[in-house]
């Protein structure tokens, strides 16, 4: 690792050292002490200081524990290169220094301050002409005589160009010794910088969540990070396998703490081991387990006195995470097993079955179904509390202890699900692969195949995921037939429906991503062949699948009837996020974008309280789209930025493509060509090879909308028309429908009226079953664009009337008002045109739709009225982070809950709210809620 790598994340410390050196080079005396834990990077900073000191002279010394009792040992090391200057000192000082450095027999009865004064004088001589920097490392081991002399000099530095730079471990003794020297604490690295250190030393780059866990476990200590990186496997670094707990330590860290621990009495080492393996700092449990093992009653006090741990009201805390690792590394396997058995017994008496199971597992010598079953039960409790990542780790250990292959396979599959929901995709895939292997000759079960399809759907080839789901459905039917041989037909049918319907739903989702209408028809027919489920949610889902297949297979009336029945069955409360997303899809297929937006927003609210990090990015796709359809472009972009960050952190690449595509659309509305193109191209780079026709379609639509808003009608017409001919994996029917109104306008602007009329005909067919006012308004607007001049204004007014009560249709209403104003102005009815153009300009301004606002203002000026740009909506002044926080606060959540949902600290939430209130002109949470529940007008 290079010196630069060792100083990653040390910008503030380097700046302080640069300031120190600048002062020295300018002729000012300076002193600075770097304090920090072993391995924190103090030595690397000293080396950098020495490198940057030129043209100043540099002297170096390092304290050594074996020499800490040898008077003037460090001073001799430091001053030996300039010992030839001693003759320039005053006689008394010269003789004192010569005696101290062993250059002559010391005079009898020498005053120690005379030596110190002589050292100061010698340093001043050595600083001529360009200054002097003395670098002293491991000051805590510098002999007392040398330390006294150097600190004496440090307190008296003046305009002599001498700099004294010390580094010491952050101990009470060192702090006391250096109390008069300006100090700088060298703390652990931040997570991002720790990740860079790990990446530089690891065999493979660690994924972000693993880097964060290692940084936390090592306290960000650079030495520990470098050594730990070399002790972790590629599977652990990439998240495909869980990290060991505690982390392993290398020779460097072992040398720091291992020898100190080894010198302690046996009882003290035992209680340290109990505390290290207990892990949670439960004082009562540690004391009881240690006593069970025969440790003396005062052993814990001895450990505290040794400075290795602190006993606090909240429990036991090791002074540094590395001490716990060193204690663990220094114990043999038999001792560790004995401690775990004691901890298991004490946990059982305390009634904590989960901890008992985990300690029993650590004490096990081989497979044991009783322990494995206990661990699996403990994992169930973790999942019930939303602790999916913890449950995954527990289930992997349970599988390790499971003798039966099929049971082991099932537990590994459950571990894969939990890891995915906990945001650990690499670990999820590894567990799934192990589950397949454990299944043996009989092959994997249908649910294992289905799970593989889900992983592929979210991060791989959507078309391959579709094939996997269809295979899983066939497997499920075959396995049920084998298991239910001899049962009555009715029981078999019920079991088949219960097992196959969720797989068909996954297949339908994959078909939707790809844009494969033939597959959707096939899935609908298979769902229709299943018996009616008894569960209302399953019945709803079956209706959606049947209706989707029928609608896309040409049975418009029958498909719409099924979808309408499904939507009528959606309760006001009780559906989970997944079923609400299906409701949004059904509404969209009916051409009712407003209803789809409502269901999508509901899904987002439900998902935020589930704790399923692995699912939230996917849910936020629909939530962000819903807000965009409701004219809340700033909020939509904020949600997609959040979803994009989560998708990248959790490795869900296909969800990242969805959020990038939505961000491209939002940027296109703003007229931000640079961002729109960048987002769209990044989305396409994922979506095209993964055959995500839906995301390809949305990203391509964004580029067409950008051209349309900027008045490039021919380019917009060409791009939007291309959407209609793209097949599965390269386009999507929903993108075609969603872009139809823009396609009509682009075609008219490009002078291709035949294409515009054809697009209107398509929209009429698609909207034939829609009943919402917004869908009818959109159709009226498109008909107006291809109608004769006399009929167009009435159709546009009809569209505005239909949107009058739709508070979330501000953007569509402004687009319609602009078209009406333009048509009236061309008919020289400028008095009638102005109010509509004025409304459009003001609405576009508030929404941040800059190109559309410019177009409306240009028309308004042409109508004889000077128009000024409107102020953007207040929400547009917020950052994405502020907007997300404000939205959740407006929903009534306290700051602590907002922090939990957005993965922030409470202090961060409070800080952002402090800025949000004045930006929005509100003074209370009530006013904030009122503002955010009023859609743009």
- pLDDT of res. 611: 47
Q: What is the CA radius of gyration of the chain?
A: 36
Tokens of 874: 């207040």
Is residue 508 a part of any domain in this protein?
A: yes
Instruction: Answer left, alpha or beta for residue 515, where phi above 0 means left and psi between -120 and 50 means alpha.
Output: left
Is residue 817 a part of any domain in this protein?
A: yes
Tokens of 638: 């904020």
For the question of whether the overall pTM of this predicted structure is more than 0.85, the answer is no
β-pairing, 162-169 vs 183-186, is: unpaired
- Say yes or no: 661 and 758 in one domain: yes
Is residue 261 a part of any domain in this protein?
A: yes
Higher pLDDT, 283 or 421: 283
DSSP structure class, residue 86:
G
- Say yes or no: 837 and 878 in one domain: no
Domain boundary among 226, 248, 270: 248
pLDDT exceeds 90 at position 684? yes
pLDDT digits (tens, 9 = 90+) for 116-148: 778 888 888 888 888 899 999 889 888 777 888
pLDDT digits (tens, 9 = 90+) for 405-444: 999 999 999 999 888 877 778 888 899 999 989 987 767 7
Q: What H or E segment, with its residue span, contains residue 716?
A: helix 713-723
- Say yes or no: 197 and 178 in one domain: no
Residue 933 CA to residue 930 CA, distance in Å, equals: 5
CATH number of the domain to which 921 belongs? 1.10.10.10
Residue with tokens 């949107």: 803
- Say yes or no: 357 and 241 in one domain: no
The segment with the largest mean pLDDT, out of 186-200, 461-475, 694-708, is: 694-708
- Say yes or no: 22 and 158 in one domain: yes
Domain boundary among 347, 363, 379: 363
- Say yes or no: 343 and 308 in one domain: yes
CATH number of the domain to which 126 belongs? 3.40.50.300
- pLDDT of res. 844: 93
Is residue 733 a part of any domain in this protein?
A: yes
- Say yes or no: 404 and 436 in one domain: yes
State what percent of residues in the chain have pLDDT above 70. Answer: 89
In degrees rounded to 5, what are phi and psi of residue 928?
Answer: -65, -45
- Say yes or no: 673 and 714 in one domain: yes
Residue 198 CA to residue 218 CA, distance in Å, equals: 12
SS (HEC) of 178-247: CCCCCEEEECCCCHHHHHHHHHHHCCCCCCHHHHHHHHHHHCCCHHHHHHHHHHCCHHHHCCCCCCCCCC
pLDDT digits (tens, 9 = 90+) for 43-71: 888 888 998 898 989 999 888 664 566 66
Domain span including residue 532: 445-569
- Compute the mean pLDDT over every residue in the chain, rounded to the nearest whole number: 84
Is residue 233 a part of any domain in this protein?
A: yes
- Say yes or no: 509 and 552 in one domain: yes
What residue spans of 611-652 are helical by DSSP H? 616-629, 633-650
pLDDT exceeds 90 at position 258? no
Stretch 517-536: mean pLDDT: 89
- Say yes or no: 141 and 31 in one domain: yes
Is residue 392 a part of any domain in this protein?
A: yes
- pLDDT of res. 246: 72
Q: In this structure, is the dihedral angle defined by the CA atoms of residues 413, 414, 416 and 421, taken in order, positive or negative?
A: positive
- pLDDT of res. 66: 46
Number of folded domains that form the chain: 9
Q: Are 579 and 536 in contact (CB under 8 A)?
A: no
Alpha-carbon distances, residue 422 vs 214, 352, 664 (angstroms): 17, 23, 28
DSSP E strands in 22-149: the ranges are 30-36, 57-62, 132-137
pLDDT digits (tens, 9 = 90+) for 566-615: 999 999 887 888 888 899 889 888 878 788 888 888 887 776 655 455 57
Q: Are 684 and 694 in contact (CB under 8 A)?
A: no
- Say yes or no: 435 and 290 in one domain: no
**Residues in Cβ contact with 820 at an 8 Å cutoff, skipping those fewer than 6 apart:** 793, 796, 797, 800, 833, 836
Is residue 151 a part of any domain in this protein?
A: yes
The segment with the largest mean pLDDT, out of 551-555, 751-755, 826-830, is: 751-755
- Say yes or no: 647 and 708 in one domain: no
Domain boundary among 764, 794, 817: 764
Is residue 937 a part of any domain in this protein?
A: no
């Amino acid at each position: 690792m290079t010196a630069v790598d060792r100083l990653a994340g040390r910008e503030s410390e380097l700046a302080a050292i640069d300031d120190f050196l600048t002062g020295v080079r300018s002729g000012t005396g300076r002193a600075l002490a770097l304090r920090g834990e072993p391995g924190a990077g103090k030595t690397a900073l000293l080396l950098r200081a020495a490198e940057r000191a030129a043209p100043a002279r540099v002297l170096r010394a390092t304290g050594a524990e074996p020499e800490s009792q040898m008077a003037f040992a460090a001073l001799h090391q430091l001053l030996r290169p300039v010992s030839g200057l001693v003759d320039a000192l005053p006689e008394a000082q010269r003789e004192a220094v010569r005696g101290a450095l062993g250059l002559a027999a010391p005079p009898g009865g020498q005053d120690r301050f005379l030596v110190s004064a002589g050292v100061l004088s010698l340093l001043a001589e050595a600083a001529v002409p360009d200054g002097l920097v003395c670098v002293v490392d491991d000051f805590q081991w510098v002999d007392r005589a040398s330390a006294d002399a150097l600190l004496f000099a440090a307190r008296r530095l003046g305009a002599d160009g001498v700099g004294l730079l010390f580094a010491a471990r952050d101990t009470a003794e060192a702090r006391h010794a250096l109390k008069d020297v300006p100090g700088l604490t060298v703390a652990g690295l931040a997570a991002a910088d720790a990740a860079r250190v790990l990446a530089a030393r690891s065999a493979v780059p660690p994924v972000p969540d693993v880097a964060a866990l290692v940084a936390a476990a090592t306290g960000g200590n650079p030495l520990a990070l470098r050594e730990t990186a070399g002790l972790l496997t590629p599977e652990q670094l990439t998240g495909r396998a869980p990290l060991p707990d505690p982390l392993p330590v290398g020779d460097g860290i072992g040398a720091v703490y291992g020898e100190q621990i080894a010198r302690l009495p046996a009882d003290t080492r035992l209680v340290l081991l109990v505390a290290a393996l207990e892990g949670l700092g439960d004082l009562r449990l540690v004391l009881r387990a240690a006593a069970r093992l025969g440790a003396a009653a005062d052993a814990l006090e001895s450990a505290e006195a040794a400075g290795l741990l602190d006993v606090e009201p909240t429990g036991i805390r090791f002074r540094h995470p590395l001490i716990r690792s060193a204690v663990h590394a220094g114990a043999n396997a038999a001792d560790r097993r004995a401690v775990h058995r004691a901890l298991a017994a004490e946990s059982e008496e305390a009634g904590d079955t989960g901890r008992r199971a985990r300690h029993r597992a650590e004490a096990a010598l081989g497979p044991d179904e009783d322990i494995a079953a206990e661990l699996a039960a403990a994992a169930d409790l973790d999942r019930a509390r939303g602790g999916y990542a913890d449950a995954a780790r527990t289930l992997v250990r349970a599988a390790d202890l499971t003798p039966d292959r099929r049971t082991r396979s099932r537990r590994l599959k459950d571990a894969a699900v939990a890891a995915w929901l906990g945001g650990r995709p690499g670990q999820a895939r590894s567990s799934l692969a192990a589950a397949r292997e454990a299944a043996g000759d009989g092959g994997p079960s249908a649910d294992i195949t289905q799970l593989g399809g889900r992983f592929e759907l979210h991060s791989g080839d959507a078309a391959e995921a579709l094939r996997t789901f269809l295979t899983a459905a066939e497997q499920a039917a075959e396995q049920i037939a084998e298991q239910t041989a001899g049962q009555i037909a009715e029981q078999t049918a019920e079991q088949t429906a219960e097992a196959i319907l969720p797989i068909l739903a996954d297949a339908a989702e994959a078909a939707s991503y790809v844009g494969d209408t033939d597959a959707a028809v096939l899935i609908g027919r298979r769902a229709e062949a299943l018996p009616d489920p008894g569960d209302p949610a399953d019945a709803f889902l079956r209706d959606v699948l049947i209706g989707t297949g029928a609608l896309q297979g040409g049975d418009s009336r029958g498909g719409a009837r099924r979808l309408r029945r499904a939507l009528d069955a959606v309760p006001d409360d009780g559906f989970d996020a997944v079923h609400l997303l299906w409701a949004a899809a059904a509404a969209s297929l009916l051409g009712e974008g407003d209803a789809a937006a409502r269901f999508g927003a509901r899904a987002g609210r439900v998902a935020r309280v589930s704790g399923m990090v692995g699912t939230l990015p996917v849910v936020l796709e629909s939530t962000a789209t819903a807000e965009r359809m409701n004219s809340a472009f700033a909020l939509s972009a904020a949600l997609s930025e959040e979803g994009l960050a989560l998708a990248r952190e959790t490795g869900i690449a296909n969800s990242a493509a969805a959020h990038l595509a939505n961000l491209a659309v939002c940027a296109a509305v703003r007229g931000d060509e640079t961002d729109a193109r960048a987002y769209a191209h990044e989305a396409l780079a994922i979506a095209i090879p993964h055959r995500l026709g839906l995301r390809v379609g949305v990203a391509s639509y964004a580029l067409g909308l950008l051209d349309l808003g900027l008045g490039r009608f021919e380019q917009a017409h060409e791009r939007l028309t291309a959407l209609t001919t793209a097949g599965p994996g390269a386009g999507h029917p929903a993108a075609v429908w969603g872009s139809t109104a823009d396609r009509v306008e682009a075609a008219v602007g490009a002078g291709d009226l035949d294409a515009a009329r054809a697009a209107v005909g398509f929209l009429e067919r698609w909207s034939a079953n829609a009943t919402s006012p917004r869908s009818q308004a959109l159709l009226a607007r498109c008909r107006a664009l291809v109608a004769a001049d006399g009929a167009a204004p009435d159709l546009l007014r009809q569209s505005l009337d239909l949107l009058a009560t739709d508070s979330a249709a501000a953007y569509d209403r402004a687009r319609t008002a602009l078209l009406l104003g333009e048509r009236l102005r061309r008919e020289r009815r400028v008095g009638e045109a102005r109010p509509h153009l004025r409304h459009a300009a003001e609405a576009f301004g508030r929404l941040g739709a800059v190109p559309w606002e410019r177009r409306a203002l240009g028309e308004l000026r042409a109508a004889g009225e000077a128009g000024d740009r409107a102020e953007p909506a207040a929400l547009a002044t917020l950052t994405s982070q502020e907007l997300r926080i404000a939205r959740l606060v407006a929903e009534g959540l306290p700051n602590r809950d907002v922090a939990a949902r957005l993965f922030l600290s409470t202090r961060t939430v409070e800080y952002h709210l402090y800025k949000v209130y004045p930006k929005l002109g509100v003074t209370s949470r009530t006013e904030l809620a009122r503002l955010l529940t009023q859609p743009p007008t």
